[in-house]
Structure 1
Amino acid sequence: MNFFAQQDRARAQTRRMLVLFALAVVCIVVAIDLVVAVAFGTMGDGRRHAYRAAASPQTGVLVVTTLLVLAVIGFSMLYKISSLRAGGGVVARQLGATLIDPYDPAMAGNFAYKRLRNVVEEIAIASGVPVPEIYVLEDEPGINAFASGYTTSDAAVTVTRGCLDKLTRDELQGVIAHEFSHVLNGDMRLNIRLMGVLFGILVIGIVGSKMVQWSGRDRDSNWQVFVGIALLIIGSIGLFFGRLIKAGVSCQREYLADASAVQFTRQSQGIAGALKKIAGLAEGSKLQSPEREEAAHMFFGDGVGYSALFATHPPLHKRILAIDPHFDPQELVAIAKAWSAPVEAFDAEGAEVSISGLAPAGAPGARASASASAGVLPQAGAAIALTPNKVVTQVAHPGSDDYRAANAIHTTIADALRAYAYSAERAPQVVLALALDAGAEVRAKQLALVGKYFGAATRAGIEEIAAAIADLHPMQRLPLAQLAFPALRKRTRGELQTFVIVLKQLIQADGRVQLEEYCLATLVSAQVIEALDPSKTITAGSSKLPDCAAEIADVVATIARYGNDDAAEAARAFQLGMREVLPDAKASYAPPEDFVRALDQALPKLDRLVPAGKELLVRGLTRAVGADGMVAVSEAELLRTICAALHCPLPPLLEQAA
């Protein structure tokens, strides 16, 4: 199942969730009305009292009760959704997780944190998405993880201390790749909405529990005890439907995410090893947090301990067998036995650690060196041939080649540059330095603008960073910016707005906008500014392709123009691209004079296309950019940037034709 089909699947699951939610609300309302009817003595005993009961003044009480219950459920749901509107980090913090700040000296020197951060950053680069916030549940010895957020721009990845202490690098990579599958396929948005919906139907039981607790302080509160117990019982209806909804939404997605992790890492031992340790060790994947019930559908493994009827995850042995058909249950006994004795492990990050039961992750030097990794990336001026159908299958589905490329990109970025990107103070300087022109005259004008807005110290900092990024490979520039995005998002709304204004002025300082400059500005808008209001972002709309014909023509014409030096070849590329998207359209090649304004107006509207429409659009754009048989690195980066604005993330290496 490709990315666009999974978008449709997520919509179907949302509709199913809403149907079950409506059924749960009806059951809760009817149950409470029955309790109120008994309390007020309005229950008739047969047909003789039916009309009298219906006409009695107590009927109004039932109407008021119904409206009151609906209001409580509705407002509770809206309150919970509102409390989560800031994005994935909110969910992590509600469960008691600690944010991993790579610029904090205490955290930067921690082996486990460094390994986790490297794995997350490499997978983010390979997936073509911003680096998410990283959290750790320090007090949870079980092996578990989850991803939360509305979009890739506000995503957060959280792991337990058990993941850090018990998993090898390959196993941790498998778990993180599994979670990124949820990030890429839009499962997070459904999950975070589900938290709000579930709170609405669970709130009745919560109210009942509080009433029982408070009633013990007052001797004349028998009625409160009665009402509280009744609400607790009725609350079990919400609990039943809540668990039913979570079970219906989660199970099949876990198989898909496991398969995606194997495809991505191109080895099954990692994620299979993590699942085997969950099955073989006493802690398993159980969580101790009192908030675990709300987020149970998000976890990598069963964090609550549900029965088969309400299971949010498939049985462990079935998940393991799906990945490792030769699995022998006796392996679990061996894992438990091995865990009783500590071993020395040399990790790929270059640190020797002594952790109970942790097998060596590889020989010294396992992590790719800069010189060895550099060959994975194409030469800066190279051009490659693309296959449109293959590129479409890459959307939100990176493979092992993408991971190797990401490892090369990540490893060969200097440690000093990564340190700048991690700093809340220096991260904006990193992005602004990437926008500086190579020409001395234009650069001087740009630096003067920086000094005007931010002062001499910031100007000096940008000049220092600019010197360090001069030799970056073109494919490393945008990933470096993405490394800076988590720190950049920590700035206030006003600071970010000023930052965006200055960035645009730097880009327009020479009176024209280069492709690289446009890509940088668009990524900042799509992946940083969007994170200010993530809950308002619409990643899959209802617009049809014919409704966006003018916008499609502008985007395809722009990408055809910059992919071909010859006007006739550009016109041919345009027609090939349009034929993929709108085969019956009679559009003529007319590239917009101001491509920046045209794309800025077109992309938000195209982002509201239905998933099937986006799939055809990506195929058409790929056909247009590769119509001459070859695609330069800068053209591929433009395609990736446009796809990012459409919430169709592409990995750094586009699939080449055979």
Structure 2
Amino acid sequence: MNFFEQQDKARRNTGWLVFLFCLAVLSLILITNLLVGIAFQLISGDTTDIAAVYGSSSFENPGIFSWRNFALISLAVGGVVGCAILYKWWQLSSGGKAVAESLGGVRILPDSEEPNERLVLNVVEEMALASGMPVPPVYLMAHEMGINAFAAGNTPADAVIGVTQGSIEHFKRDELQGVIAHEFSHILNGDMRLNLRLIALLHGIVFIGQVGELFARGGSDRRSDGRVALLGIGLMIVGWLGIFFGKLIKSAVSRQREFLADASAVQFTRNPEGIANALKLIGGYSPGSEINNSHRSEVSHLFFGQAISSLSSLFATHPPIVDRILRVDPHWDGNFLYRGNETRERKLEEEQQKSEEKRQRVQEAAAIGAAVMTGAGESALTDNSLSALTDNSLSAAREKIDLIPEFLYEQAKEPLGAMSICCSLLLHSEGELRQKQLEMIKATEFQGLEKEVLKTAQAVDKLQEHCRLPLIELLMPALKCMSAEQYKQFKRLLMQLIRADKKTDLFEWCLFQLVQHYLAGEHDPELKSAPRYKTPGQIGDEYAQILSAVARFGHEDEESAERAFNRGAGAVSLYNIHLLPAEECDVQVFIKAVNVLGLAYPLLQRRLLIGLCRCIEHDGKLTTTERELITTIAAIMGCPLPKLEHLDEGE
């Protein structure tokens, strides 16, 4: 299949469907206005011909249907519907966590040793590192035996992955990879935010019917003349019509996004068999992908498979499973998969694989540590290890994880260990200053943190620079287990450690920004600011500052830096900016400029990031500093990182 053609087609169709959804909302508001006007006319007892009154526009005898009253009614109804939409949007503003918990999901702890849970955590880790985004928390719907999964959230920082018990019990590793890749595609394609907006818009339409039901009940009272009840019934009918057309369009939008996510998942994993077999397994499994939670109707379009099997094809949120299979496996023979005792055998195989992976990681870490101690440095890394650090495949992501020493990998799974790794990464090499930082850690309210830091610091000191970023990304699920108060204290501690030497270097800034922005959805929703800038020209000076710094950090000579700069500037059509002198590429100015870029609109952010990637790609090498910088800038923007291609890891 042509994945890019399928993606473009799905995006175009989705744009039209969203437009139709908004048009339906406005049409229903207008119909409601008409209904309210007629009801007020009847309640007032005015027998004037409705058509004549509707056409009246004089101020002396405006009638209930004058443009003035029509505008007032429109404003009132629109305001009520708008408030209902905003209220629902506020409920969903905390991100995917709220959705997962409303569905009965329970967070899988990062240090879980249950085989099925460990498998899904490993796959999510690999997918996150391969896609260049933070590792999201995983929620398990333990009472759902249907095979299904979902992704929810407003941004990559507050995204979560949800899986059902049926999924983790029946999927093999490659099938689970295909499904998780499908959900990550929803994150990277911006579907999560679109899905939450559809929930909020539909709630506004439903609210019209709820108001009508309230009026109908109130109007049925004996003290009422019944005309209020008539108004209520009319509003209920409008609400039902709204629900009908709203769900119709929402389902059509969802079906297009599912085709897009399937295509992206195959492109992402390079293994169409994985997601195809997952779909075939759902087709041959008696519970299918059914979800039994009472909130399933509201969020059915978030799931991997059809959450409500009884829906007609018009209201189905997912394309027919046969169509989805044929799109990724055109040569399918029509037979579904039926799996029984294979599940137990799969668990045994995965346990053996897990033990082998641990053994390989220990050997790899020992080899790298020995190379560091003997001064061999980066030359000790194999060619495969180097390519893994620039490759975006799942196998490369696993190799990135394998490069991390086993002790640090295990520490990263629980909150105190993750905190100790962050602190260890910030410890200064100079003895007196390092001791001062340890005293700061000891003075905090985190009992046992100093002891953990002393243990992890030894392993962190031997850690290759290439491994720092993957390790930081692996820490996020454990750090998100902290309470809000613990997070505030921890963030304050990080600032103290950074400022201990009275200056901030780029790595310290990157670490702090990654922690802050990846945890923003969990603890700091107030960090989100409304976008201000739509065109590159509005932030040309700031972009020139950042692009100059990136060009100079990644290129040694002036000529190469200038060519890389011009390539990045051309990618965003900023031809009037120039490479700044090295002395003007100050870290503090750079930090302020990045914060300004974070206020750009999403489409502009994506364009700016692509320009920075073009600058990095100019010399065909990717340094550790470049990777950390571009990842941090993407995190601050809340924008998925574009894929870096044709690069070799530099020293």
TM bucket, shorter chain = 0.7 to 0.9
Shift of 1:90: 0.4
> Quick one: which of 175, 181, 185 aligns to 1:177?
181
**Structure 1 stretch displaced more, 33-42 or 472-481:** 33-42
* Match of residue 328 from structure 2: 323
Match of 2:93 among 85, 94, 99: 85
Q: Give the CA deviation at 1:271.
A: 0.9
1:337-356 → structure 2 map (5 Å cutoff)? 338-339=338-339, 344-347=344-347, 350-351=350-351
- CA–CA separation in structure 2 for the residues paired with 1:451 and 1:219: 72
The residue number in structure 2 matching 1:524 is: 515
**Cα deviation per residue 1:317-336 (whole Å; 9 max; x = unaligned)?**
1111010001122x12xx3x
Give SS of 1:136's match: strand
Show CA shifts across 1:127-159 (max 9, x none).
Answer: 111111211222222222211111110111111
> Contact (CA 8 Å) 2:151, 2:161: kept in 1 or not?
yes
Matches within 5 A, 1:221-240: 223=226, 229-240=233-244
Q: Greater CA deviation, 362-371 or 490-499?
A: 362-371
CA-CA distance at 1:500 after TM superposition: 3.0
- Does 1:143 pair with 2:143? no
Deviations 1:326-364 (A, max 9, x none): 1122x12xx3xx446665323387438xxxxxxxxx899
Q: Which has the higher helix share?
A: 2
Give the corresponding residue for 1:308. 313
Report the 3-state secondary structure (helix = DSSP H, G, I; strand = E; otherwise coil) of the residue aligned with 1:295.
helix
CA contact (8 A) 1:383 1:631 kept: no
The residue type equivalent to 2:249 in the other structure is I
Question: Are 2:84 and 1:99 aligned?
Answer: no
- CA 382–595 in structure 1, closer or farther in 2 if over 3 Å, else same: farther
Which residue pairs with 2:625 in the alignment?
634
CA displacement at 1:93 relative to structure 2: 1.3
Aligned equivalents of 2:559 and 2:72: distance in 1?
A: 72
1:135 aligned partner, one-letter code: Y
What is the SS of the residue equivalent to 1:135? strand
The question of whether the paired residues in 1 share the 8 Å contact of 2:154 and 2:192 is answered with yes
Residue 598, structure 1, aligned to residue 603, structure 2: no
Contact 2:620 2:646 in 1 (8 A): no
Paired residue secondary structure (2:632): helix
Alignment correspondent of 1:72: 80
| SS of residue matched to 1:289 | coil
1:244 aligns with 2:248: yes
Q: Does 2:515 match 1:544?
A: no
Residue 63 (structure 1) shift: 7.8
Q: Where does residue 449 of structure 2 map in the other structure?
A: 458
Looking at structure 1, the residues matched to 186 and 149 of structure 2 have their Cα atoms a distance apart, in angstroms, of 12
Structure 1 pair 225–164 and aligned structure 2 pair: CA distance change class (3 A): farther
1:406 corresponds to which residue? 397
Map residues 178-257 of structure 1 onto 2, 5 A cutoff. 178-208=182-212, 223=226, 229-257=233-261
SS of 2:344 mapped into structure 1: strand
Distance 1:456 1:297 in 2: 44
Distance 2:297 2:72 in 1: 31
Corresponding position: 1:430 with 2:435:
no
Matched to 1:346, the amino acid is R
How many aligned positions are there? 628
Return the offset for 1:169. Answer: 1.8
CA offsets per residue over residues 166-218 of structure 1, 9 Å max, x none? 222211111111000111122111111221111111123334556778999x8
Whole-Å separation in 2 of the counterparts to 1:537 and 1:5: 32
Give the match's secondary structure for 2:139. strand
* TM-score where L is the length of structure 2: 0.83
Of structures 1 and 2, the one with the larger relative CO (CA 8 A, separation 6+) is 1
The 2-side partners of 1:634 and 1:189 are apart by 31
Structure 2 CA distance, aligned partners of 1:580 and 1:66?
45
Between the aligned partners of 2:648 and 2:12, the Cα distance in structure 1 is 28
C-alpha contact (below 8 Å) 2:547/2:565 kept by paired residues: yes
2:440·2:493 contact (CA, 8 Å) conserved in 1? yes
Hey, what's the Cα distance between the residues in 2 that align with 1:652 and 1:501? 33
Deviation at 1:524, TM superposition (A): 1.9
CA distance in 1, matches of 2:38, 2:432: 80
Structure 2 partner of 1:129: 133
Please tell me whether residue 496 in structure 1 is matched to residue 487 in structure 2.
Answer: yes
Q: Post-superposition shift, 1:371?
A: 6.7
Report deviation, 1:5: 12
Distance 1:498 1:121, change over 3 A: same
CA 1:65–1:588 in 2, change beyond 3 Å: closer, same or farther? Answer: closer
Match among 550, 555, 562 for residue 564 of structure 1: 555
1:490-524 CA-to-partner distances (Å, cap 9, x unmatched) read 44555434433432332343355444323212212
- Aligned equivalents of 2:574, 2:54: Cα separation in 1: 65
Residues 416, 367 of structure 1: CA spacing in aligned structure 2 closer, same or farther, 3 A cutoff? closer
Structure 2 unmatched runs, 5+:
382-386
Q: Residue 351 of structure 1: SS of its match in structure 2? A: helix
Counterpart CA distance in 2 for 1:597 and 1:561 is 16
Please say which of residues 475-484 and 452-461 is displaced more in the overlay: 452-461
Q: Tell me the distance in 2 between the aligned counterparts of 1:221 and 1:546.
A: 62
| 1:88–1:147 CA contact under 8 A, matched in 2 | yes
- Does structure 2 conserve the Cα–Cα contact (< 8 Å) formed by 1:73 and 1:201? yes
The answer as to whether partners of 1:402 and 1:652 remain within 8 angstroms in 2 is no
* Alpha-carbon distance change, 526 to 591 in structure 1, aligned in 2, over 3 angstroms: farther
1:618 to 599, 609, 622: 609
Partner of 1:509: 500
Per the alignment, do residues 62 and 50 of structure 1 end up closer, same or farther by CA in structure 2, a change over 3 Å counting? closer
Cα 1:400–1:630, aligned 2, differ >3 Å: closer, same or farther?
closer
Compared with structure 1, are the counterparts of its residues 31 and 276 closer, same or farther at alpha carbon in structure 2 (3 Å cutoff)?
farther
What's the counterpart of residue 384 of structure 2? none
Q: Which residue in the other structure is 1:445 paired with? A: 436
> Which amino acid is the alignment partner of residue 86 of structure 2?
L
Q: Which amino acid aligns with 1:314?
A: P
Between the aligned partners of 2:92 and 2:339, the Cα distance in structure 1 is 38
Relative distance call for 1:198 and 1:592 in structure 2 (3 A) is farther
- The range that moved more, 194-203 or 642-651, is 642-651
Find the residue that maps to 2:267 and give its secondary structure. helix
1:87–1:535: 8 Å Cα contact kept in structure 2?
no
Does structure 2 retain, via aligned residues, the 8 Å contact 1:131–1:483? yes
Structure 1: state its 5+ residue gaps. Answer: 353-361, 385-390, 392-397
Q: TM-score, normalised by structure 1?
A: 0.82
Percent identity at matched positions?
34
The 8 Å contact of residues 555 and 561 in structure 2, kept in 1 or not, is answered as yes
Give the alignment's Cα RMSD to 1 decimal. 4.3
Moved more, 569-578 or 472-481: 569-578
> Secondary structure of 1:347's match?
helix
